[in-house]
């Protein structure tokens, strides 16, 4: 027998494995064989395509989350802004009512409210007048009562009026200029009709005008039952209304208590009822005498105090 030892083959295997060349990974192939009568179709895709697609999908998910968070923050900021506007309106309302009126509102109108110095606050005397104000947007109707000597109103009637004049977008309320109430009262007395309110107070963020009197509680868009917009305009003209806008297509007039005398006509057909439309800066809401844009279809002109 041959006692020669056998070669150790296990020691050569690792070296052979290391020497084995690595084959490069080829691209991804999609083979389509839908019809036996036609040759197979092969679609070649880069091998890194799934990784790139996953990365893009991840970026899109992150962007979506970021946008959602931003929208949520904007919603909170808008809600906070609306709360601040309501708080400011409430503070302005308390100032507008005055000290005595505030006591009367808390104790009930007609009761005597003690003051700090021991005096008493009583409701103002003098004759009282009233007229009916109805919203053309929702049909709400109320009786406006005001003192003809002082222009003051009963606290409860004033709260209802302010709610009637509220912004239709935000439901925000604001103090109403007493001169505007006196003007509406005189129009109602002249016509013996109620006043149909198309638009009253308008929140500044929803006003297209640079300087709108609607945002300051100094303007109202109105209709008068039984009268055309032209007849209402002529009536307001005869009463010496300072700010007067005529909207023949929409069928209402704009009246305000600005200091200068301004007139404009808007023939556009998009001035519909409610707060959805605005009188832009070219519709006389600003005090400049520039011509309005052609697309508005309006004309504006200013008259001095010596005008007709």
Cα(190)–Cα(149) distance, integer angstroms: 18
- Per the CB < 8 A criterion, the answer to whether 203 and 174 are in contact is no
Average confidence score pLDDT of the chain: 74
Q: How confident is the model at residue 85 (pLDDT cuts 50, 70, 90)?
A: confident
Write down the pLDDT at residue 206: 79
Query: To the nearest whole percent, how much of the chain has pLDDT over 70?
Result: 63
Tokens representing 28?
Answer: 């991804």
> Which of 120 and 210 is assigned the larger pLDDT?
210
The average pLDDT across 71-86 equals 79
Query: Which residues 6+ apart lie within 8 Å of 297 measured at CB?
Result: 266, 267, 268, 269
Measure Cα distances from 230 to 134, 224, 227, 234, 254 in Å: 20, 11, 8, 6, 12
Identify the architecture of domain 126-302 in CATH.
2-Layer Sandwich (3.30)
Q: How confident is the model at residue 24 (pLDDT cuts 50, 70, 90)?
A: low
- Per the CB < 8 A criterion, the answer to whether 252 and 223 are in contact is yes
Write down the pLDDT at residue 183: 94
Q: How confident is the model at residue 147 (pLDDT cuts 50, 70, 90)?
A: confident
Handedness of CA 282, 245, 145, 112 (dihedral sign): positive
> Which of 235 and 72 is assigned the larger pLDDT?
235
Write down the pLDDT at residue 74: 86
Cα(252)–Cα(227) distance, integer angstroms: 10
Burial per residue of 10-31, b for 16 or more beta-carbon CB atoms within 10 angstroms, e otherwise: eeeeeeeeeeeeeeeeeeeeee
Query: To the nearest whole percent, how much of the chain has pLDDT over 90?
Result: 31
Residue 253 host element (H or E): strand 252-256
Question: Coil, strand or helix: which one is 7?
Answer: coil
Tokens representing 91?
Answer: 């503070």
Half-sphere exposure of 248 (CA within 13 A, CB side): 10
Write down the pLDDT at residue 267: 85
Which residues, in sequence order, are bridge partners of residue 31? 42
Helix axes 229-238 and 178-191, enclosed angle (nearest 10) = 110
DSSP states of 102-150 as a string? HHHHHH-TTS-EE-TTS-EE----S-EEEEEEEETTT--EEEEEEETTT
Q: How confident is the model at residue 72 (pLDDT cuts 50, 70, 90)?
A: confident
- Per the CB < 8 A criterion, the answer to whether 251 and 220 are in contact is no
Write down the pLDDT at residue 306: 34
> Which of 62 and 100 is assigned the larger pLDDT?
62
The average pLDDT across 45-57 equals 81
Residue 187: pLDDT above 90?
Answer: yes
Least confident interval from 119-133, 143-157, 236-250: 119-133
The average pLDDT across 203-232 equals 89
Residue 80 burial (C-beta neighbours within 10 Å; 0-12, 13-18, 19+)? exposed
Q: How confident is the model at residue 133 (pLDDT cuts 50, 70, 90)?
A: very high
Long-range contacts, stretch 92-97, CB < 8 angstroms, 24+ apart:
92/174, 92/175, 93/162, 93/173, 93/175, 95/175, 96/175, 97/155, 97/158
> Which of 298 and 240 is assigned the larger pLDDT?
240
Query: In the chain, where are the structural domains located?
Result: 49-123, 126-302
């Amino acid at each position: 027998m041959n006692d020669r030892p056998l070669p150790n083959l296990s020691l050569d295997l690792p070296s052979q494995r290391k020497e084995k060349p690595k084959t490069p990974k080829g691209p991804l192939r999609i083979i389509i064989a839908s019809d036996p009568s036609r040759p197979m179709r092969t679609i070649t895709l880069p091998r890194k395509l799934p990784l790139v697609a996953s990365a893009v999908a991840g970026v899109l998910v992150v962007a979506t989350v970021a946008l959602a968070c931003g929208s949520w923050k904007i919603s909170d900021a808008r809600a906070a802004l609306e709360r601040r506007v309501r708080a400011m309106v409430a503070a302005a309302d308390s100032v507008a009512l005055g000290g005595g009126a505030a006591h009367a509102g808390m104790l009930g109108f007609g009761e005597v409210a003690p003051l700090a110095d021991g005096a008493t606050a009583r409701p103002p005397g003098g004759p009282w007048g009233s007229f009916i104000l109805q919203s053309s947007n929702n049909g709400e109707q109320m009786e406006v009562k005001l003192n003809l000597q002082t222009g003051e109103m009963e606290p409860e009637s004033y709260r209802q009026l302010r709610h009637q004049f509220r912004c239709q977008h935000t439901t925000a309320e604001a103090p109403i200029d007493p001169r505007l109430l006196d003007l509406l009262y005189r129009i109602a007395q002249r016509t013996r009709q109620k006043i149909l309110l198309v638009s009253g107070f308008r929140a500044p963020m929803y006003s297209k005008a640079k300087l709108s009197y609607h945002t300051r509680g100094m303007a109202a868009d109105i209709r008068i039952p039984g009268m055309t917009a032209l007849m209402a305009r002529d009536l307001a003209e005869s009463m010496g209304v300072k700010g007067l806008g005529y909207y023949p297509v929409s069928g209402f007039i704009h009246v305000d208590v600005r200091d200068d005398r301004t007139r404009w006509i808007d023939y556009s057909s998009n001035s519909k009822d409610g707060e959805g439309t605005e009188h832009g800066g070219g519709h006389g809401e600003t005090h400049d005498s520039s011509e309005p844009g052609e697309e508005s279809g309006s004309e504006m002109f200013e008259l001095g105090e010596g005008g007709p």
